[in-house]
Amino acid sequence: MADFAPGGKFERESRTSHIHIINDEEVAAYLSHCTIPVDAQKVEFHDSFKYDIAYPDANTIDYFIAVDGEATTLPVNEGFPSSLVTFFQFGTLVIVSEDLDNVEKKPFVAAADIKKLKEIKRDKFVMPTKNVALKNDGVDFKTVVRTSIQDFFRKEHSGNTPLLETVFWLIFEKYRTDTVKQEYVLAHCPHCGTVDIVLEKDKMRLDYSWECTEPKCRKNIFLTDVFLLFVRMDNETGAEAIVGYLKNVIETFLLLHTMKSLLEIEDGLVNQFLLVKDGPLSFSGETSRIYRPVQKMISYLRAKNNINLVGVESSGPFVDHARQIRDKLKPGQAFLLNNKHIYTYILVGDPRTQQYGERTYYGGKLIYKSLDGRVYVLSMPVDNHVAYYNRPELADFANVQEVLFCIAKLRCDIYENALIPIAVINKLISLSTQSGTKILEKFAKKTVKK
């Protein structure tokens, strides 16, 4: 049997339980009908998708901005474990490229080194997750959750505007200099379910909400309902299903918000920044539709600016695959991933009938092996990701040489696939259960109905 664990690091215990499971007759019979991704030895490369990366002569990127978040779901009260809240923490970190030159010579990022890097900005958010009502409210659970999300997006962030302003800017294409979109079609109303609700730009209220246009409903629709997270919430079973999606949406919008601020401060300023996102450049589940406005916005802005944005994956099948094939790439080489390669060697599927990332991605994926031999799974914005996954070309990415140069510079010795900013944020925001619980107790005392 193939060794699926990266580096062959099976724990003794899990190895034993694996043998037990494989020996079960019924399981063995089932497995005989299954196919799994193939061994590294059998992977065939399409050589035209391999590129030698020449590092740029001059650097235009002087700063790195990274965002990462964490979510912990806990019972509000030990005696009643079915009432849950989720505690989100997000960190935004700015690193000056020059400062990194001194830090990078050390094997670990120490607390003193972190101080040399710029202050981390933290955003916290508590989301009622199951069976929690707010005092003096009398509304259903879904409304409680939707309101808490809208309230988080209402808070001011960098540039002293709320995240809601960035959502508004994005969906009505306010970044355009020629024309602005007048309406956005919401797939359906969170209350009455009426489909294709037209949200008119000029009818939005000051609190970033609209009245449902269905005469029998007329209830409040929030700007943050464009993420369609309410589809996965239920008054009884709760909102646990949206935690991962919401975390990704907030991480993305914290970055887009910073990007928008940079664009507004000064022409060309954004070119000096590399924005680093933990995870791929995509939206999943119900939030996936938002990939389209994001892709449109980046494509438009790319004509005049360098939008240096990169998603970095630290786990999952693409990272497993990158480790498997690392010896097949030369240091300094990038391998662009197309549909056929993905569905033949990485994911289960048929490349003839499936289109990777069709309704979720705004970036193209690549594996990059840096000069010091580390492999990274990255995604960067492309104008047309369907075209990219059919026939990727290095020219689909903007400023790719410099971005990859920066990625190599951000290497982190603590975890192989992580980058320094992400590792630093992780370290700073990671919650001990104790401090999380304390904050939750405070929250529960203040706001939760007894």
Residues of the shown chain interacting with Zn ion in the complex, contacts defined by CB under 5 A = 189, 191-192, 212, 214, 217
Minimum distance from residue 195 beta carbon to Zn ion (Å)? 10
Of the pair 186, 425, the CB lying nearest Zn ion is at: 186
Minimum distance from residue 152 beta carbon to Zn ion (Å)? 23
Of the pair 208, 300, the CB lying nearest Zn ion is at: 208
Minimum distance from residue 189 beta carbon to Zn ion (Å)? 3
Q: How far apart are CA 368 and CA 380, in angstroms?
A: 12
Of the pair 235, 435, the CB lying nearest Zn ion is at: 235
Q: How far apart are CA 289 and CA 287, in angstroms?
A: 6
Of the pair 195, 371, the CB lying nearest Zn ion is at: 195
Q: For residue 446, give both structure tokens.
A: 């203040």
Neighbouring residues of 258: CB distance < 8 A, sequence distance ≥ 6: 65, 92, 157, 158, 159, 275
Minimum distance from residue 187 beta carbon to Zn ion (Å)? 12
Q: How far apart are CA 99 and CA 109, in angstroms?
A: 12
Among candidate residues 134, 161, 158, 135, the one with its CA nearest the CA of residue 148: 134
Of the pair 71, 221, the CB lying nearest Zn ion is at: 221
Of the pair 234, 393, the CB lying nearest Zn ion is at: 234
Minimum distance from residue 218 beta carbon to Zn ion (Å)? 7
Among candidate residues 278, 380, 393, the one with its CA nearest the CA of residue 335: 393
Minimum distance from residue 190 beta carbon to Zn ion (Å)? 7
Minimum distance from residue 142 beta carbon to Zn ion (Å)? 13
Of the pair 224, 370, the CB lying nearest Zn ion is at: 224
Distance from CA of residue 225 to its chain's centroid?
18
Q: For residue 29, give both structure tokens.
A: 């019979």
Write out the E strands in 182-240.
183-188, 195-200, 209-211, 220-222
Write out the E strands in 101-244.
120-130, 183-188, 195-200, 209-211, 220-222
Residue 345 DSSP label? I
